[in-house]
Amino acid sequence: MNYQEKLKLAYDKIIKANNILLVSHISPDADAVSSVAGLIEVLKEKNKKFSAFSLGKKEGVYNFIPNEELVSSEAPKSLNQFDVVVIFDCGSLARTGIEMKIRASLEIRRQSGIKKFPYFIEIDHHEKTEDWADLEIRRQDKASTSTMVYDLLKAGDYQINKNVSECVLSGLMADTGCFLYSNATSKTVALASEMLNQGASFNKILRATTKNSNLLSLKIWGRAIENLHFNQETGLVSSGLTEIEIKELETSSEENENLIADLFGIIVSFLSSLKGVKVALLLREEDGIIKGSLRSNNSEIDVAKIAGQFGGGGHKKAAGFSLTGKLIKTDKGWKVRRS
Ligand SMILES: [Mn+2]
């Protein structure tokens, strides 16, 4: 199935469902909240029964996003009453905050052999970590999950209104650093312009998005830039944070771990947008696993192929991989010691 076919199928499943659960990641960012909020607009309009949550969502932070008040910070007790569960922007099952419930549900279905509810749909622009959803819609080349929600609604011939346009633009601006990063392309700017024509307020979102940065993210930015290597001949810029460095920055809460996962995507996109850079590589070590993110800024360089050499994958312009080992800083760049 191609992207369009998957979107059509997803929209169909959602519209035909009796009770839908919308989930985005723990300690959500603006893209996570606005992706859920965008689809809520449609469900409200069609008088659908639904629940939505993002574990640990903070009160008052996202009130510039329409429908955000309908995104709870707590998970429902059981998944049994839902016939469709849509998971947005999560990157991994762990980040849903209901991993155990989802796995239990999949296990019951597997053992009983009958296609029992719920049907799981995953919509995401992070690297793939696992094959688990009934319908996986993953596009690492998409700047934000909210733009995939836009694609989803378009696939269902839904007429985009002001509220949806604000949701789509909020996620897009948050994940492109307000169009500063290389994931802001002519396509994303064109989509932003369409959202403005539909009534989204650029100023309101800009103000809300830029005031949300915190001290920890500045420290991580600082360390990533300090550790940067640039090879002028190849155009490869690389940086990384070792496990010790990440721990030194006092990142050990669950909330911070999520922040880091998102931040690394943002930093690697930024690095690839620097002058003279063709490819950016950002590495981080977590519990003996090295995660690599690659972004290409050059039409001749396919980073999915590079990631493939390390057992990973993705798209031409954005890809990733995981390796077991230790990350070692050297004068010439980064080394991986395989364990
Ligand atoms: Mn996102």
pLDDT tens digits for range 153-197: 999 999 999 999 999 999 999 988 888 777 888 999 999 999 999
Three-state SS string over the chain comes to CCHHHHHHHHHHHHHHCCEEEEEECCCCCHHHHHHHHHHHHHHHHCCCEEEEEECCCCCCCCCCCCCHHHCECCCCCCCCCCCEEEEECCCCHHHHCCHHHHHHHHHHHHHHCCCCCCEEEEEECCCCCCCCCCEEEECCCCCCHHHHHHHHHHHCCCCCCHHHHHHHHHHHHHHCCCCCCCCCCHHHHHHHHHHHHCCCCHHHHHHHHHCCCCHHHHHHHHHHHHCCEEECCCCEEEEEECHHHHHHCCCCCHHHHHHHHHHHHHHHHHHHCCCCCCEEEEEEEECCEEEEEEEECCCCCCHHHHHHHCCCEECCCEEEEEEECEEEEECCEEEEECC
Give distance in angstroms: CA of 217 to centre of ligand 1: 16
Angstrom distance (rounded) from CA 14 to CA 86: 8
Contact 224, 282 (CB under 8 A): yes
Q: How many helices (H) and strands (E) does the chain have?
A: 11, 13
For residue 324, the CA-to-ligand 1 centroid distance in Å is: 25
**Res 198: pLDDT:** 96
* pLDDT tens digit sequence for 260-318: 777 888 899 889 988 899 999 999 998 888 999 999 988 899 998 999 999 888 778 88
Mean confidence (pLDDT) of the chain? 90
**Lowest-confidence segment of 31-35, 58-62, 260-264, 266-270 by average pLDDT:** 260-264
Q: How far is the CA of 194 from the centre of ligand 1 (A)?
A: 20
Separation of CA 88 and ligand 1 centre (Å):
8
Q: What band does 60 get if pLDDT is binned at 50, 70 and 90?
A: confident
pLDDT of residue 256: 66
CATH topology for 3-210 is: inorganic pyrophosphatase (n-terminal core) (3.90.1640)
208 alpha carbon – ligand 1 mean position (Å): 16
Q: Are strands 279-286 and 289-296 parallel, antiparallel or unpaired?
A: antiparallel
CA of residue 75 to ligand 1 center, whole Å: 20
CA of 206 to the centre of ligand 1 (A): 17
Distance 103 CA to ligand 1 centre (A): 23
pLDDT over 60 at 245, yes or no? yes
CA of 96 to the centre of ligand 1 (A): 13
| SS3 assignment, position 300 | coil
Q: Tell me the CA–centroid distance for residue 287 and ligand 1, in Å.
A: 23
Q: How far is CA 207 from CA 21, 30, 112, 178, 203, in A?
A: 30, 13, 51, 10, 6
Domain regions of the chain by residue span: 3-210, 215-337
User: Would you state the pLDDT for residue 13?
Assistant: 97
Query: Residue 252 pLDDT > 70, yes or no?
Result: no
Using the predicted structure, report yes or no on whether residue 212 has a pLDDT greater than 60: no
pLDDT digits (tens, 9 = 90+) for 78-136: 999 999 999 999 988 988 999 999 999 999 888 887 766 799 999 999 888 889 999 99
Tokens representing residue 153 in the block? 């609604």
Distance 233 CA to ligand 1 centre (A): 32
pLDDT of amino acid 127 = 80
Q: How far is ligand 1, taken at its centre, from the CA of residue 332, in Å?
A: 32
Ligand 1 centroid from CA 110, angstroms: 31
Compute, in angstroms, the gap from residue 95 CA to the centroid of ligand 1: 12
Q: How confident is the model at residue 27 (pLDDT cuts 50, 70, 90)?
A: confident
Give the CA dihedral 9, 148, 261, 297, nearest 10 degrees: 120
Q: What proportion of the chain, given as a percentage, has pLDDT over 90?
A: 64
Q: How far, in Å, from the CA of 265 to the mean position of ligand 1?
A: 9
| Residue 338 CA, ligand 1 centroid: distance in Å | 31
- Statement: residue 17 has pLDDT above 60: yes
Q: How many Å lie between the centroid of ligand 1 and the Cα of residue 143?
A: 7
Cα of 115 to ligand 1 centre, how many Å?
30
Lowest mean pLDDT among 18-32, 99-113, 235-249, 251-265: 251-265
The answer to whether residues 323 and 336 touch, using CB atoms and an 8 Å cutoff, is: yes
Distance CA 296, CA 331 (A): 24
232 C-alpha to center of ligand 1: Å? 31
Which run of H or E residues covers position 72? Answer: none
Supply the CATH classification number for the domain 215-337: 3.10.310.30
Whole-number Å distance, alpha carbon 93 to ligand 1 midpoint, is 15
- SS3 at position 22: strand
1 alpha carbon – ligand 1 mean position (Å):
23
Question: From ligand 1's centre to the CA of 245, what distance in Å?
Answer: 25
Structure tokens at 43: 């469900």
